[in-house]
Amino acid sequence: MNLYVINFKGQTTVEELMNPEKGSPGAGEDMEAAESFIQQAMEIILQEAVKKATNVKEKVCEWRSPEQLKELLDLELKDTGESESKILQCCRDTIRYSVKTGHPRFFNQLFAGMEPHSMVASFITEAIKTSLYTYEMAPVFTLIEDALLKTMMKLIGWEEGGDGLFNPGGSMSNMYAVNLARYRYCPDFKEIGIYASPRLVILTSQEGHYSLAKAAALLGFGTKNVYVGAVPFFVNATAGTTVLGAFDPIDEIADICEKHNLWLHVDACWGGGALVSKKHRHLLKGIQRVNSVAWNLHKMLMATLQCSAFLVRDKSCLLQRCHCAGASYLFQQDKFYDVSYDTGDKSVQCSRKPDAFKFWLVWKAVGTRELEYRVDRALALARYLAQEIKKREGFRLVIEPEFANVCFWYIPPSLRNLPESLELWKKLHTVAPAVKERMMKSGSMMIGYQKHGDKPNFFRMVVISPQVSRQDLDFVLDEIHSLGKDL
Amino acid sequence: MNLYVINFKGQTTVEELMNPEKGSPGAGEDMEAAESFIQQAMEIILQEAVKKATNVKEKVCEWRSPEQLKELLDLELKDTGESESKILQCCRDTIRYSVKTGHPRFFNQLFAGMEPHSMVASFITEAIKTSLYTYEMAPVFTLIEDALLKTMMKLIGWEEGGDGLFNPGGSMSNMYAVNLARYRYCPDFKEIGIYASPRLVILTSQEGHYSLAKAAALLGFGTKNVYVGAVPFFVNATAGTTVLGAFDPIDEIADICEKHNLWLHVDACWGGGALVSKKHRHLLKGIQRVNSVAWNLHKMLMATLQCSAFLVRDKSCLLQRCHCAGASYLFQQDKFYDVSYDTGDKSVQCSRKPDAFKFWLVWKAVGTRELEYRVDRALALARYLAQEIKKREGFRLVIEPEFANVCFWYIPPSLRNLPESLELWKKLHTVAPAVKERMMKSGSMMIGYQKHGDKPNFFRMVVISPQVSRQDLDFVLDEIHSLGKDL
């Protein structure tokens, strides 16, 4: 095999290049080798990262400690390149030792499952390699982002539309909301900073996502100005908290915010998926009244990572006015087309990926009704699991599930007859980490755990993917018992 | 064709699901349909987004106005899904009307060309669909990010290492630098905000990237506190400016910063690529002395978008201390492995993509020497182009190129004999936009233009990809003349 070619080395030297007697050859031969490499890699991806990774009979993860994994992988980067076959082996190993988040028994995060349309759309965005600065650089993706945002706004209930952007993650979307609210409160902040302002505070619940604290620190408010303090200007309501899957009552909060002219943002990164379901959208009752929404389509709706929308009801170009810097080399005003299609300056990023396509294609392919079916199915399965937990000895629900999070303790036989006491709780606190270690090492499934307030460590199951069956949920409970019964 | 299956609809209804008499069927049939869809889409990607998109005989773009494109694409999202063949046609259309950034005649941005290893690595990260919160969620990618950052630090010259992260874009990396510097200046800012502080200012040159202004606004300093003011704490030096490709003298700036204890950050997003070249790394002389570096591997080194490293010389966990929020459901301290491998809390994001892999695989495959060859080749070609511009009538360099940016005016015959006057410059100002419009509509190539200070619109050519030949550069000049000679 000809490394020379794969490495684009079939070309002239730099010295030859500058010699006017010699031309540079075309890239034809190189491209053939590149195509053959890509084709072989695609086959590996299909076999290993799609077929095998979603097969319930295979492991969810092939656990290796950092030290073991460093030995297994040859991570060093050298002066000279490796052969094609070695690189293809790197690809196989990378897939092999990565966690299979598309596996039907992966329940560890607020994303799971394999969505074939979204995977394909991601491949296309990667192959196209462009950025959403300007219409001329991303004509199709600009229009697709616009179409998807508009459809989402309809689901939210903003009859007159609004504005929005896809961001690298929900934390960024929440940060955008805080920044827009501050800008609306006092547009001078953009130029003069917040030195001269009264102490501004951000209101959220204890269950709100930590991205609000990160935003407060980054944006110069300080984390202590989240929750309590002087002049409130921003309220965050959470639709689907991370651990418990709880929903703040948006309508009631909106009443107060409207009265006091506070910016109301809804962090619906996780719970936004319920908006496609007639049965469950009541969880977000009142969302049409809020100023802004963060909604991650890569969570309940299974887009590939990341696919995070930030939507704002304002129609006075607040997003543009708040963030614009007007770079001359991108946002020329003497272009030959309508420059309102150049969305890049609404973002605090420069390059921004066309993430919207990764869900637009899913929606196009399956339709709203199938999205609704998937959400309803996931929530029905979560309820099924909660019922099973109540039936089984040694399992106890932390809280009745409102959404797709099912939080529960496993109490091994040795602890079952102990009286409810601090000592029991202390012992119980060690059970989930111990079961998790055994789970990871066996690779049979993946579920998260955490402590929460004064509650000892408990498991958090998250049901998302239509590839999950009732049998998979029965397996989870059986397996936890089998891994932890001797503790 | 069976839409039912592709859409995961082969499964039970929600009602059946909750009926204990009926099990839910396996996902086997669905998966077969999904695999067949992915396989067909991969073939389209290979043919259209790889082969055709890099073929010099094809167009760089197939220009359509927003109105025309909306007519051509059926963007509406409906209640029911579309057939597999319609979705595959959507994929073909998306590729067809997107700009071909891998085409040898695409010179419009600071990225270009098709890097087969990086493309394959992107496909793998998309298929694996994971996030770099914790080692358990991304074992391979955590180690790969670490290995790549360490190799980059060696190139920078930080013998004792440091810390770092990959971010969604260089703007984010620059923002991180400002935030870390502020935190080091006064750690209280994280909790109490900047209300009580003296007016802090950020120093950068007029040529610095607009992300610094965006960072100043977002972080609460205000854009007016970039350049002039009260207490300087942060200095940005640019290694490779966006338009002209100019380099600030790092060594001289470092002397001043060391004297006054100012944080020195180098925005090497564009120019960092020169560090792999023995011949050109002098452009960044002194970089080993700075506090932090932003370096985008997706620009000169051709990784797929985005692949942006932020590197910090500090070894006291500043990145962790400045950004941590300690979410209990991710960063449990009672894990069974060394939690220093959980890098997620160093980030202001929550989900963070394994972008490092997209360049690690390139480096592994081709080796440092080939990276060096590519950079040297690109800079030699840029110099060749500058020489040609000097030779040709009607072309004039704006400035002698330091890097891979070649900025020049095209002066059509009608303007060649006019005296150098304000009137000539006003007329010249309209030439580049007019040529650009014709260029986009013919789809023959893509080059950016902008005005700059008081200089009228000029073209900015950027040479990056080894797929570009001298003939392509000759073509660029011929084509500009042919498109603009009647203006």
How far is the alpha carbon of B27 from chain A, nearest alpha carbon, in Å?
A: 6
Q: Sheet holding B263-267: strands in order across?
A: B163-167, B308-312, B292-296, B263-267, B231-238, B200-203
8 Å CB contact of A17 and B470: yes
pLDDT tens string B109-142: 888 888 899 999 999 999 998 888 888 888 999 9
pLDDT at A17: 66
pLDDT tens string B17-39: 666 554 444 445 578 899 999 99
Asked, for residue A279, whether it belongs to a domain, the answer is: yes
Which phi-psi region, left, alpha or beta, contains residue A431 (left: φ > 0; alpha: ψ -120 to 50)?
alpha
Burial of B94 (0-12, 13-18, 19+ CB in 10 A): buried
The span from the CA of A291 to the CA of A85, in Å, is: 54
Report the candidate in A196, A355, A279, A62 with the shortest Cα–Cα distance to residue B169.
A355
Q: How many CB atoms lie within 10 A of CB B427?
A: 17
- Rounded mean pLDDT, B318-326: 79
Asked, for residue B56, whether it belongs to a domain, the answer is: no
Residue B167 has pLDDT above 60, yes or no: yes
Q: Which of B3, B19, B56, B129 to mutate to test the interface with A (most CBs of A within 10 A)?
A: B129
8 Å CB contact of A222 and B144: no
Confidence of residue B228 (pLDDT cuts 50, 70, 90): low
On whether any CB of chain A is under 8 Å from the CB of B111, the answer is yes
Residue A8 has pLDDT above 50, yes or no: no
pLDDT at A433: 94
Check residues B391 and A163 and name the one with the higher pLDDT: B391
Question: What number is the ipTM of this complex?
Answer: 0.84
Asked, for residue A466, whether it belongs to a domain, the answer is: no
- B81 CB neighbours in chain A (<8 A) are 364-367, 370
- Rounded mean pLDDT, A107-112: 84
Q: How many domains does chain B have?
A: 1
8 Å CB contact of A128 and B76: no
Q: Using alpha carbons, list the distances in angstroms from residue A126 to A353, B43, B240.
A: 9, 15, 25
Asked, for residue B274, whether it belongs to a domain, the answer is: yes
How far is the alpha carbon of A105 from chain B, nearest alpha carbon, in Å?
A: 13
Give me B365's structure tokens.
Answer: 């495959």
Q: Which of A350, A454, A463 to mutate to test the interface with B (most CBs of B within 10 A)?
A: A350
How far is the alpha carbon of A203 from chain B, nearest alpha carbon, in Å?
A: 15
Burial of A1 (0-12, 13-18, 19+ CB in 10 A): exposed
User: B351: domain CATH number?
Assistant: 3.40.640.10
Confidence of residue A447 (pLDDT cuts 50, 70, 90): very high
Report the candidate in B413, B369, B388, B373 with the shortest Cα–Cα distance to residue B476.
B388
pLDDT tens string A130-168: 888 888 888 999 998 888 889 988 888 888 888 888 888
The span from the CA of B37 to the CA of B49, in Å, is: 17
Report how far apart the first and last C-alpha atoms of chain A are (Å, whole number). Answer: 55
Residue of B nearest to A94 (CA): B140
Residue A27 has pLDDT above 70, yes or no: no
pLDDT tens string B133-145: 888 888 999 999 8
Confidence of residue A317 (pLDDT cuts 50, 70, 90): confident
pLDDT at B426: 94
Check residues B195 and A138 and name the one with the higher pLDDT: A138
Residue of A nearest to B242 (CA): A329
Q: Going by DSSP bridges, is the β-strand pair A231-238/A395-397 parallel, antiparallel, or unpaired?
A: unpaired
- The answer to which of A116-120, A192-196, A307-311, B362-366 has the lowest mean pLDDT is A192-196
pLDDT at A384: 96
Domain that holds residue A273: 120-366
pLDDT at B19: 62
Residue A356 has pLDDT above 80, yes or no: yes
Report the candidate in B337, B342, B312, B341 with the shortest Cα–Cα distance to residue B327.
B342
The answer to whether the peptide bond before residue B306 is cis (omega within 30 degrees of 0) is yes
Which phi-psi region, left, alpha or beta, contains residue A95 (left: φ > 0; alpha: ψ -120 to 50)?
alpha
Confidence of residue B352 (pLDDT cuts 50, 70, 90): confident
Give me B223's structure tokens.
Answer: 């854009």
DSSP conformation letters of B196-210: TSPPEEEE--TTS-T
Asked, for residue A324, whether it belongs to a domain, the answer is: yes
Whether A406 and A382 have beta carbons less than 8 Å apart is answered as: yes
pLDDT at A29: 58
Residue A38 has pLDDT above 70, yes or no: yes
- Rounded mean pLDDT, A183-200: 78
pLDDT tens string A394-417: 999 999 999 999 999 999 999 999
Residue at A426: amino acid letter: K
- The answer to which of A44-48, A356-360, B5-9 has the lowest mean pLDDT is B5-9
Tell me the residues of chain B between 301 and 340 that have a Cβ less than 8 Å away from chain A. 304-306, 322-323, 325-329, 332, 334-338
How far is the alpha carbon of A116 from chain B, nearest alpha carbon, in Å?
A: 6
8 Å CB contact of B433 and A336: yes
Confidence of residue B104 (pLDDT cuts 50, 70, 90): confident
DSSP conformation letters of A69-91: HHHHS-----SSPPPHHHHHHHH
pLDDT at B12: 60
Tell me the residues of chain B between 372 and 431 that have a Cβ less than 8 Å away from chain A. 373-374, 376-377, 380-381, 383-384, 430
3-state secondary structure of B169: coil
Asked, for residue B184, whether it belongs to a domain, the answer is: yes
8 Å CB contact of B305 and A129: yes
On whether any CB of chain A is under 8 Å from the CB of B137, the answer is yes
Average pLDDT, chain B: 86
The DSSP secondary-structure symbol of B452 reads E
Tell me the residues of chain B between 239 and 278 that have a Cβ less than 8 Å away from chain A. 242-243
On whether any CB of chain A is under 8 Å from the CB of B454, the answer is no
On whether any CB of chain B is under 8 Å from the CB of A90, the answer is yes
pLDDT at A306: 80
pLDDT at B333: 82
Q: Which residues contact A430 (CB under 8 A, 6 or more apart)?
A: A457, A487, B334
Average pLDDT, chain A: 86
Which phi-psi region, left, alpha or beta, contains residue A329 (left: φ > 0; alpha: ψ -120 to 50)?
alpha
Q: Which of B244, B350, B366 to mutate to test the interface with A (most CBs of A within 10 A)?
A: B350
Asked, for residue A274, whether it belongs to a domain, the answer is: yes
Residue A11 has pLDDT above 80, yes or no: no
On whether any CB of chain A is under 8 Å from the CB of B14, the answer is yes
pLDDT at A7: 43
CA A199, distance to chain mean position in Å, is: 32
Residue A393 has pLDDT above 90, yes or no: yes
- The answer to which of A147-151, B164-168, B263-267 has the lowest mean pLDDT is B164-168
Residue A349 has pLDDT above 70, yes or no: yes
Residue A457 is inside which H or E element, if any? strand A455-462
Which phi-psi region, left, alpha or beta, contains residue B457 (left: φ > 0; alpha: ψ -120 to 50)?
beta
8 Å CB contact of B364 and A430: no
How far is the alpha carbon of B395 from chain A, nearest alpha carbon, in Å?
A: 20
Q: How many CB atoms lie within 10 A of CB A478?
A: 11
8 Å CB contact of B69 and A139: yes
- The answer to which of A392-396, B44-48, B54-58 has the lowest mean pLDDT is B54-58
How far is the alpha carbon of A109 from chain B, nearest alpha carbon, in Å?
A: 9
Give me A94's structure tokens.
Answer: 């990378």
Check residues B347 and A132 and name the one with the higher pLDDT: A132
Residue B15 has pLDDT above 60, yes or no: yes
Confidence of residue B3 (pLDDT cuts 50, 70, 90): very low
pLDDT at B155: 87
Residue at A105: amino acid letter: R
pLDDT at A435: 96
How far is the alpha carbon of B236 from chain A, nearest alpha carbon, in Å?
A: 17
Residue B389 has pLDDT above 90, yes or no: yes
Q: Which of B13, B74, B126 to mutate to test the interface with A (most CBs of A within 10 A)?
A: B126
Residue B1 has pLDDT above 60, yes or no: no
CA B150, distance to chain mean position in Å, is: 20
Q: Which of A13, A67, A129 to mutate to test the interface with B (most CBs of B within 10 A)?
A: A129
8 Å CB contact of B220 and A98: no
pLDDT above 70: percentage of residues in chain B: 93
- Residue from the list B61, B328, B381 with its beta carbon closest to the beta carbon of A452: B328
pLDDT at B4: 33
On whether any CB of chain B is under 8 Å from the CB of A155, the answer is no
8 Å CB contact of A470 and B175: no
Confidence of residue A289 (pLDDT cuts 50, 70, 90): very high
pLDDT tens string B403-428: 999 999 999 999 999 998 999 999 99
Asked, for residue B136, whether it belongs to a domain, the answer is: yes
- Residue from the list A73, A168, A328 with its beta carbon closest to the beta carbon of B140: A73
8 Å CB contact of B34 and A328: no
On whether any CB of chain B is under 8 Å from the CB of A223, the answer is yes
Q: Which residues contact A309 (CB under 8 A, 6 or more apart)?
A: A148, A149, A152, A164, A165, A166, A167, A173, A293, A294, A295, A296, A297, A356
- Residue from the list B81, B218, B433 with its beta carbon closest to the beta carbon of A219: B218
- The answer to which of A95-104, A420-429, B356-365 has the lowest mean pLDDT is B356-365
pLDDT at B455: 93
- Rounded mean pLDDT, A263-277: 92
| HEC secondary structure over B312-374 | ECCCCCHHHHHHCCCCCCCCCCCCCCCHHHCCHHHCCCCCCCCCCHHHHHHHHHHHHHHHHHH
pLDDT tens string A238-248: 899 988 999 99
HSE at residue B404, side-chain half, CA atoms within 13 A, is: 30
- B78 CB neighbours in chain A (<8 A) are 367-368
3-state secondary structure of B254: helix
Q: How many CB atoms lie within 10 A of CB B456?
A: 19
